Structure 1
Amino acid sequence: MSVAGAVVREDGRVLAIRRADNGTWEPPGGVLELAETVEDGVRREIFEETGLKVSVERLTGVYKNVTRGVVALVFRCHPESGTESLSDESTAVDWLTPAEVSDRMADVYGRRLLDAFREEAAPVIRTHDGHNWLDEATPGLAPSEL
């Protein structure tokens, strides 16, 4: 199981990293360790990849990659302390507007961040093959709708 954070600042920008292994822009996150809680895993992954400490607000989405058999939980978070920094896993850390998310990120990752702006308390549930969404049971928001 993997976890990721949609870290949203007060100005509405959301945190993203450019991964060192493949150069893609994604939300910070990774695989849970065996003995850690989901929330602790989110905080650890965000800190390891960006240098920021965050508070976890709520689950915003559940995403299954049917090709790899991976389920990712994405949580809306808020920055608490720290300074953005690079790691072995990231070559860039940036605060993006919703429009920049759509421009820089593949939809299967960008939508995870855009879903975190939804006002509904219930998380979205989506399925993809690594590149394309396989269902649209809960449509995402376009940046103009945020």
Structure 2
Amino acid sequence: MLLYMSSSHEETPSTPLHSVSVAGVVVREDGRVLTIRRADNGTWEPPGGVLELSESPEDGVRREVYEETGIKVHVERLTGVYKHTSRAIVALVFRCRPEGGHEELSDESTAVEWLTPDEITHCMREVFAVRVTDALTASDPHVRSHDGRKVISTGT
């Protein structure tokens, strides 16, 4: 008997789903960088969050930075793409410059500060400090993966 059809259904591997987030490395003329201390975990990070389905990455950065800090920004360029391997989050990081507004706390931040690059390397976890460093120094976007704490691979 030749079987060419089967009544059993072979399970198809599920398509990986990733969340896309955006963050803005906002740099003032004096070289200080806009940062927030997150309300949920107390860590210092560049402002950012989940990209909404209906918005462009640049619009998402403008929205997230304003919502979390009260600062309006001009998005200059993409500086990096970062993948959190265990949580399936891809973060697009953009270098920005401030265009107005004033520092305000939000439900998501317990502090909003303009830090120097040296202060950033001391108070941010590696996975966030490297994003700021990349935005300050690189002319081409970096592509990196991390496990939530440490960078595990680097690209250009």
Larger mean CA deviation between 100-109 and 111-120 belongs to: 111-120
Please name the residue that 1:78 is paired with.
Answer: 97
How many residue pairs are counted as aligned between the two chains?
Answer: 137
Whether 1:3 aligns to 2:22 is: yes
Q: Secondary structure at the match of 1:134?
A: strand
For residues 51 and 108 of structure 2, the distance between their equivalents in structure 1, rounded to whole angstroms, comes to 16
Write the distance in 2 (CA, Å) between the matches of 1:37 and 1:124: 20
CA distance in 1, matches of 2:117, 2:71: 20
Whether 2:125 is the aligned partner of 1:127: answer no
Match of 1:90 in 2: 109
Show structure 1 runs of 5+ residues with no match: 139-146
- Which stretches of structure 1, 4 residues or more, deviate above 6 A after TM superposition? none
Note the aligned Cα RMSD (angstroms).
0.8
Normalising by structure 1, what TM-score? 0.91
Tell me the equivalent position of 1:68.
87
Q: CA deviation at 1:119?
A: 4.2
Is 1:59 paired with 2:78? Answer: yes
Structure 2 runs not aligned, ≥5 long: 1-19
Maintained 8 Å contact 2:25/2:93: yes
Deviations 1:30-71 (A, max 9, x none): 001110111100000000000000000000010000010100
CA distance in 2, matches of 1:103, 1:132: 15
Deviation readout 1:91-132 (Å, 9 max, x if unpaired): 000011110000100010111111111242x20110001011
